[in-house]
Amino acid sequence: MSATQSSGPAALSAETRQPGTVRANRILLAALGVLLLGVGVLALLAGFGAFGQRLRLQFVLAPSIEQFVAASPWYWSVVAVVAAVVALLCLWWLLIQTRSDRVSAIRVSEDRTAGSTFLDAGAFTSALEAEIGTYRGVSRVGAYLSGTPNRYRATVRVALDGRIDAGDIHDRIVGQALPMARNALSVTELPFRLEFELPKSTRNIR
């Protein structure tokens, strides 16, 4: 077994096609939660008389509001502008759901006069899957690249059958598959993420 490093995070969050979208969804949904909670609580306070008995018994759409709207010719224009802004924000929100950081081609060389050479990411990941798939103890492999054509990271999901420990498969991938991958891409550095799925038991198959 090779030397192992003991620093680093204790846990990893799930991989996602677009971390920015996950963050945006979380922020916007939380903001919507705050808005709904605020409106609900204020309406409840008004309904239970926290702002005075007069407001409690007043109609929600009071005549004074209708008079104000009728006396303000700019009112509906402001409503339209606000609705247009909300529509644009929603359109952006919907469009970012389709984003993905998966890489379909990686740049293997760049020459200002001769141009750039790209390698199909699928060809690379298929070769990687084929290599790891031959290791004893591995039942299924899936790999993909994420990032940009210039700066990418390989993620490999390995399902084990229980004959070999995850640690030993990890060492074999780091010792054999990773150097092979770096060699194939002619790079010295290639960030790698390995995700292991274990079977129910590791004791009966060995």
Partner 1 sequence: MRTTDRILSLVIGLALFALSVLVVVEVIYAAVNNPKPLFLPYAQVAEFFRTHSWSAGWIVTGAVVLALLGLLLLVSEVRRRRPALLAMQSADPQVVAGISRRSIQRVLDAEIGAVPGVGKTSTRVGRRTVRVKAVSWAGAPDNVGPEARERGEAALAGLRLQKPPSLSLTLRSGRDS
Site for partner 1 in 77-106 (CB under 8 A): 77, 79-80, 83-84, 86-87, 90-91, 93-94, 97
Tokens representing 111? Answer: 């020459």
In 3D, which of 126, 125, 130, 159 has the Cα closest to residue 145? 125
Site for partner 1 in 130-189 (CB under 8 A): 165-167, 170-171, 174, 178, 189
Q: In this structure, what are the phi and psi dihedrals at residue 155, rounded to the nearest 5 degrees?
A: -115, 130
Which position among 25, 105, 149, 161 is part of the footprint of partner 1 (CB under 8 A)? 25
Taking the least distance from each CB to partner 1, the nearer of 56 and 136 is 56
Distance, in Å, from the CA atom of 29 to the CA atom of 173, rounded to the nearest integer, reads: 40
- CB of 111: closest distance to partner 1 in angstroms? 27
Q: Which of 10, 70, 71, 114 binds partner 1 (CB under 8 A)?
A: 10
Does 114 help bind partner 1 (rule: CB under 8 A)? no
Least Å from the CB of residue 1 to partner 1: 9
User: With respect to partner 1, which residue has the nearer C-beta, 46 or 127?
Assistant: 46
What minimum distance in Å lies between the beta carbon of 13 and partner 1?
A: 6
- Tell me how crowded residue 94 is: count the other CB atoms within 10 A of its CB: 9
Tell whether residue 71 is a contact of partner 1 (CB under 8 A).
Answer: no
Cβ-Cβ contacts under 8 Å for 196 (sequence gap 6 or more): 158, 159, 160, 166, 169, 170
The CA distance from 30 to 45, in Å, is 22
Q: Which amino acid is at 34?
A: V
Shortest Å distance, C-beta 141 to partner 1: 14
Amino acid in the structure at residue 117: T
Residue closer to partner 1 by CB (options 100, 117) is 100
The residue range among 47-55, 112-120, 123-131, 140-148 that interacts with partner 1, by the rule CB under 8 A, is 47-55
Counting residues that bind partner 1 (by CB under 8 A) gives: 80
Helix/strand/coil for 202: coil
Tokens of residue 71, six digits: 């006396």
What are the distances in angstroms from CA 102 to CA 2, 46, 51, 124, 180?
31, 50, 54, 13, 21
Q: Pick the piece of the chain touching partner 1 (CB under 8 A) from 75-83, 107-115, 127-135, 143-151.
A: 75-83
Write out the two tokens for 10. 């204790």
Near partner 1 by CB under 8 A: residue from 64, 74, 111, 200:
200
